[in-house]
A and B are shown apart, each in its own frame.
With several copies, the nearest count.
Chain A
Amino acid sequence: MEYLQIYGKMLLIRRFEQRVAELQRAGEVPGFTHLYWGQEAIATGVCHWLTEDDYVVSTHRGHGHCLAKGADAGRMLAEIMGREDGYCRGRGGSMHVADFSCGMLGANGIVGGSLPISTGAALACKLAGDGKITVAFFGDGAVEEGVFHESLNLASLWSLPLLFVCENNQWAISVPVGRRQAGGGAVALAAAHGISACAVDGNDAVAVVEAAGEMVMSARQGKPGLLNCQTIRWGGHHSAQPTRAYRTEEDCTRGEAACPIARLGKRLVADGEATEEQLQAVRAEADRAIDAAQRFAQSSPLPRAETVTDYVYYEGSAE
């Protein structure tokens, strides 16, 4: 039953991303979007263990984290379409979507930029002393930025209730991880900082759920951890980027073969935990939810130009 819910959440993310891609092709989504499809098991498996009071920080590829943490698909889609009813009133867009009401402190356009912020959120959790934790999602590219290292050190030194989740999809735009990193990667670096770390198959929802469960529990006891999830970037770096310019055909299609959703679905049926009909119903439900989200987003107005300097400051206006 639990895993059927997880299946449903993953599917919701998948359908959301598919819809974003469609709407983008139709010219309804401005800018670039970095789609999360194929990586759904990670956000879903980790957030499965979180409550509304826990915090997450995210990246440029943040739709999945947002939905998994409990954000509303309609308000998210409205944001991504630049509408006034979006979570950020159209100011943020795909790369800055946030929903503070569910503890989602924001996607981030700067690779690694949210990691220092996560240490502060985690320190807030620690000071509150009520077992809350913070999860920082980031890509393998962020491992190369200095703030990754600084944040690991701080988390380790202060025993922060902070779980680092690396989504190792092997690419940063057009450069594979082997041409960007020497050494042992995120796990080895975390270990060198005294942070317990482990790797998991990020395309296997069950494996992610299990590994994350342990690490979340440790984090709640003030033991920071790092989970390195192997996964695959299905498409181009962003939705409009032709990926085959620098990737082999095989690498481009390997993702679909390893699809975490199909994999979980098969396993549920094989284990007798769900029937094909139940999965079908979940899929239909996801479609309905995304249709509703689209209707909500499309009916929301664009922000008015005169409001361009609203929300810069808490107190008073720009001047």
Chain B
Amino acid sequence: MGQITYAAALNRALAEAMREDPKVVVLGEDIGALGGIFTVTQGLLEEFGPARVFETPLSEACYVGCGTGLALCGWRPVVELMFTDFLMVAMDQVCNQAAKLRYMTGGQAKLPMTLRAPIGARNSAAAQHSQSPQAWFAHTPGLRVVMPATPADALGLLASAIECDDPVLVLEHKSHYGDKGPVPEGRHRVPLGKAEVKRSGKDVTIVGCSRMTLLALEAAEQLAAEGIEAEVVDLRSLNPLDREAIVGSVSRTRRAVVVDEGVLDFGITAEIAALVHGELFDELLAPVVRVGAVHAPIPFSPPLERAAVPQVADIVAAVRRCLGKKPADI
């Protein structure tokens, strides 16, 4: 398996899909000559030309809607949002139109549109370029949501998203684009709705997705040195949510920590925690511990930005708490 970056893996998924299926087209801002501000669409304009690669004006609502119209008429648009934050300008087109059209038309509409958008607090991009609002989209029936953590998952999930006949939102993490990882050479698909145990362990389950999966793996390493064996479940998809995988893992470890980069209150971790408590009421040895972003917009200044979103140390501390260890015990 070659080592390529997350951005290159996404790029490969796009290029392969465009080669295989002439109906796949891409739309977005600065995705032509520049190749996207995170380089994910590099080379596509050269290879596929301007009848497949549509560089749009600065009007997110319109070009998301344009993707919807294309999809309704038999195309497979992949629409890049420069930052997930800008989806707010297109919220009606995403959540009120695309996500609902199939249902509202009683199954007439088929809407194979993929939306790609970067999340995450990184490099002091501040409050309007750093959000992780996945909870909003996971709360929107009709919209599939996936959040790859690694280059291989980025390739496999984006490829599956493009092949899916429903609208899929692929939330990419800004911190990952430059990260290298092993990626299978040939055809590679990660099915929507399948979590993956990225590390096995018997003492506690850490559930996360996107960047939090990577931090959870780091936390698990540190904990291993203390003799705590953490299992790391990477959700990969929020919709469909792999409830079986979550419950399956925690039914073995009987303890769970859930981590998310979004705001903690009313966020992703609440659903997972409620699920685990509900399903494993008698098995759980301790309350689920939730870790998420603070109750604030993402701040600019580096020490504040770091304090705003979960860090490895926060996950380690949460696991210890879940295992009933007071900070003083350690």
- The reply on B128 being an interface residue by CB < 8 A is yes
Interface size on A, residues (CB 8 A): 80
Indicate if the CB atoms of B59 and A146 lie closer than 8 Å.
Answer: yes
Select one of A108, A175, A318 contacting B296, CB under 8 A.
A318
- The reply on B179 being an interface residue by CB < 8 A is no
Known: A110-B86, A117-B65, A144-B58. A95 touches B306 (CB 8 A): no
Select one of B72, B103, B129, B144 contacting A120, CB under 8 A.
B72
Q: Tally inter-chain residue pairs, CB-CB below 8 A.
A: 274
Indicate if the CB atoms of A110 and B92 lie closer than 8 Å.
Answer: yes
- Minimum Cβ distance to chain A for residue B319 (Å): 21
Known: A106-B104, A318-B295. A313 touches B142 (CB 8 A): yes
Indicate if the CB atoms of B106 and A172 lie closer than 8 Å.
Answer: no
Known: A106-B101, A147-B65, A175-B55. A120 touches B303 (CB 8 A): no
Give the docked Cα–Cα distance between A157 and B50 (Å). Answer: 13
Q: Which residues of A contact B165 (CB under 8 A)?
A: 314-315
Q: Closest A residue to B101 by CB, please name it.
A: A106
Indicate if the CB atoms of A110 and B128 lie closer than 8 Å.
Answer: yes
Q: Which residues of A contact B108 (CB under 8 A)?
A: 87-88, 98-100
Q: Which residues of B contact A113 (CB under 8 A)?
A: 65, 92-93, 96-97, 128
Q: Which residues of B contact A123 (CB under 8 A)?
A: 54, 66, 69-70
Chain A 42-56 interface 0/1 with B at a Cβ cutoff of 8 Å (1 = within)? 000000000000010
Indicate if the CB atoms of B57 and A30 lie closer than 8 Å.
Answer: no
Residues facing B in A253-306 (CB within 8 A) are: 302-306
Indicate if the CB atoms of B70 and A313 lie closer than 8 Å.
Answer: no
Indicate if the CB atoms of B125 and A32 lie closer than 8 Å.
Answer: yes
Indicate if the CB atoms of B300 and A309 lie closer than 8 Å.
Answer: no
Q: Closest B residue to A88 by CB, please name it.
A: B106
Indicate if the CB atoms of A30 and B34 lie closer than 8 Å.
Answer: no
Indicate if the CB atoms of B75 and A173 lie closer than 8 Å.
Answer: no
Known: A31-B123, A91-B106, A319-B240. A308 touches B294 (CB 8 A): yes
Indicate if the CB atoms of B296 and A308 lie closer than 8 Å.
Answer: yes
Indicate if the CB atoms of A150 and B62 lie closer than 8 Å.
Answer: yes
Q: Which residues of A contact B200 (CB under 8 A)?
A: none
Indicate if the CB atoms of B142 and A312 lie closer than 8 Å.
Answer: yes
Q: Closest B residue to A86 by CB, please name it.
A: B106
- The reply on A25 being an interface residue by CB < 8 A is no
Indicate if the CB atoms of B85 and A31 lie closer than 8 Å.
Answer: no
Residues facing A in B70-114 (CB within 8 A) are: 70-75, 77, 85-86, 88-89, 92-93, 96-97, 101-112
Chain A 1-45 interface 0/1 with B at a Cβ cutoff of 8 Å (1 = within)? 000000000000000000000000000001110000000000000
Q: Closest B residue to A153 by CB, please name it.
A: B57
Select one of A88, A105, A110 contacting B96, CB under 8 A.
A110
Indicate if the CB atoms of B33 and A314 lie closer than 8 Å.
Answer: no
Indicate if the CB atoms of B127 and A96 lie closer than 8 Å.
Answer: yes
Give the docked Cα–Cα distance between A115 and B63 (Å). Answer: 11
- Minimum Cβ distance to chain B for residue A176 (Å): 10
Q: Closest A residue to B109 by CB, please name it.
A: A100
Give the docked Cα–Cα distance between A188 and B165 (Å). Answer: 40
- The reply on A216 being an interface residue by CB < 8 A is no
Indicate if the CB atoms of B75 and A172 lie closer than 8 Å.
Answer: no
Indicate if the CB atoms of B106 and A314 lie closer than 8 Å.
Answer: no
Q: Which residues of A contact B296 (CB under 8 A)?
A: 308-309, 312, 318
**Apart from the given pairs A93-B126, A98-B104, A110-B96, 5 other A-B contacts in the complex at a CB distance below 8 Å:** A116-B97, A123-B70, A127-B25, A154-B66, A172-B30
Give 24 pairs: A residue, B residue, CB < 8 Å, sorted on A: A30-B302, A82-B302, A89-B106, A91-B300, A96-B105, A105-B72, A108-B97, A110-B88, A110-B92, A113-B128, A116-B97, A117-B93, A119-B62, A120-B72, A127-B25, A127-B75, A141-B58, A146-B61, A150-B62, A173-B30, A180-B58, A302-B301, A308-B308, A311-B107
* 7 nearest A-B pairs in the assembled complex, by CB-CB distance: A120-B69, A116-B65, A93-B300, A82-B301, A109-B128, A31-B124, A89-B106
